[in-house]
Amino acid sequence: MTYSLRKLLSGLVTISLIIVLAAGCSGGGNGSGKGGSTPKPADPGTNKGNAQDEVYPENGLSKTEQVTIRWGYWENGYGRAWMDYATEKFTEKYPNVSFDITSSPVIRDVISTKMAAKNDEDMFDIISPTFNKEEGIIAQQAGLFEQLDDLWEREVPDAPGKKLKDVVLDNTMEYAEKINGHFYQIPMGSYALGLFFDKKFFEEKGWNQNPKTYDEFNALMDKIKADGVAPITFPGIYPTYLYYPFWIKQFELAQKAGNLEAYLKDYRAGINMYSTPEVKEYWTRMYEMGKKGYFVEGAAALNHTQSQMQLLQHKVALASTGDWVENEMKDSIPDGFEWGFMTIPFSNTAGDPIWVENGIGAGSLMIWKNKPDIVKKWAKEFVLFLMTNDIQAVNGQSGISPIRKDFAEDESNLDKLQDAPKAVLAYMKNNNGQFATRTRDVSFGEQDAAKATKMVEEMIVDVAAGKKDPLPVLAEADKLMQKVLESRK
């Protein structure tokens, strides 16, 4: 299926979030901020005139009551320029609101410590959703965060008469992360995952930039290796980066087999997570590629920045990462580098759909429930403000693909995207591209589920090195998940 750019951007959502885990990479930066979230009393001298003049007509909130919002921000591969711009514009519009921001690549640790202390007053009012996945699930199930279901019915500030649910990309609500049927965060942007490369380097070497079949892809790997270059790098310290070109392939295989609808239904319900032929197949292919030496040696010692630097230095041909890579590595990109993108076609029939993982959620915020109502109301106004096309355009300059479906109606907006996301759109246009996400409709916080996840993730590096057959591990993980599913009946 071929997409126009506009439909492509809309397609960015047949999918949804790994919370970014996904996007999963930490960047540099730090910040600080102290202070409370208790609203400051208004100056009595300002409470004069008509009551109607003292509130904002679009939301009914006071113009004079001073409110400070404390934000614990995860400074990751997208940087913080979009965040600084958003808060600046919001406070220009609402001068009685200010922000007290603590930003850090390891904000997860700060948030986890505050959560463990159970001190609502000391907790941030809004946080970036970065914490241990199971910890986050438990916190949401325990009611520690504000439900945001109502925001889908609110009007977006720059689209009067249109509700949030109507202006976002198709299927956003269907695939945005929910816990027990409720939304605790609203996605602000999207991202795509796969294999990124330097087009100029490929041209110089005469390598195939767009393999159409699995055999063509393997031939490319052999050619790259024969030329003395490592084909693919990934950060073994964060091994789930190697999922990016592989995980979503189970859907591609299910579609090829003609059972996609049933497969997706079971997948979303968390059934047969490790035992389907499709899952075994993508792991087996990863193992076979590992035995052929397609993955860089020494991956176990690499973090995400080091593996991506290998790409920029042409020590490897492709890096398994997300489209945030351009923004994350912007200070290290050499002159003449031109971003390209591909993934692994699992079919040997040219023209078959090629599935690419993407997600929605980049820039999401969550609101701590036990805060003053006025603070939570203003926090929700800020969440809606992030959905305006002005903010979405700045997000795009930081590598966050916009989530507004009318963003592409102004084609000049597409020029505001960085080159790495553009490369993804070009790939989807030139191939029968299909976006999808790994998000499930259920969450598993049980100990056995955590054990299963851990044992599977811990084998990635050895599988990619061709040292460990993944099938026995998958069988053990499946036994643990069957226990979990039985306990829920």
pLDDT in tens, the chain (489 residues): 433 333 333 443 333 333 333 334 433 333 443 334 444 444 433 444 455 579 999 999 999 999 999 999 888 777 788 889 999 999 999 999 999 999 988 888 888 888 888 889 999 999 886 554 555 555 555 678 899 999 999 999 999 999 999 998 776 776 666 777 788 888 888 889 999 999 999 999 999 999 999 999 999 999 999 999 999 999 999 999 999 999 999 999 999 999 999 999 999 899 999 999 999 999 999 999 999 999 999 999 999 999 999 999 999 999 999 998 998 999 999 999 999 999 999 999 999 999 999 887 666 788 999 999 999 999 999 999 999 988 888 887 777 778 888 876 777 777 778 899 889 988 988 999 998 888 887 878 899 999 999 999 999 999 999 999 999 999 999 999 999 999 998
By the 10 Å C-beta count (0-12 exposed, 13-18 middle, 19+ buried), 369 is classed as middle
Residues 6+ apart with CB under 8 A from 252: 346, 347, 353, 354, 355, 434
Alpha helices in 177-328 (DSSP H): 199-205, 214-226, 249-257, 260-268, 277-291, 304-312, 325-328
| Dihedral, 62, 67, 70, 73 alpha carbons, nearest 10 | 50
Contact by Cβ (8 Å): 339, 199: yes
Residue matched to tokens 């003395």:
228
By the 10 Å C-beta count (0-12 exposed, 13-18 middle, 19+ buried), 246 is classed as buried
Please give the Cα distance from 364 to 188 (Å, whole number). Answer: 5
Among residues 236, 466, 198, 446, the alpha carbon closest in space to that of 334 is found at 198
The two beta strands, 316-322 and 230-233, are parallel
Q: From the centroid of its chain, how far is CA 40?
A: 36
If one counts every other C-beta atom within 10 angstroms of the C-beta of residue 409, the result is: 11
Contact by Cβ (8 Å): 397, 81: yes
Contact by Cβ (8 Å): 89, 393: no
DSSP helix/strand/coil, 165: helix
Residue matched to tokens 């993944």:
470
The two beta strands, 230-233 and 126-127, are unpaired
Structural element, H or E, at residue 52: none
CA distances in angstroms from 42 to 47, 79, 91, 344, listed in the order given: 8, 35, 17, 59
Q: Terminal CA-to-CA distance of the chain, rounded, Å?
A: 40
What pLDDT is attached to residue 6? Answer: 38
What pLDDT is attached to residue 24? Answer: 40
pTM: 0.73
Geometric angle at alpha carbon 235, from 318 and 140, rounded to 5°: 120
Residues 6+ apart with CB under 8 A from 106: 26
Residue matched to tokens 């960015």:
12
Please give the Cα distance from 469 to 259 (Å, whole number). Answer: 27
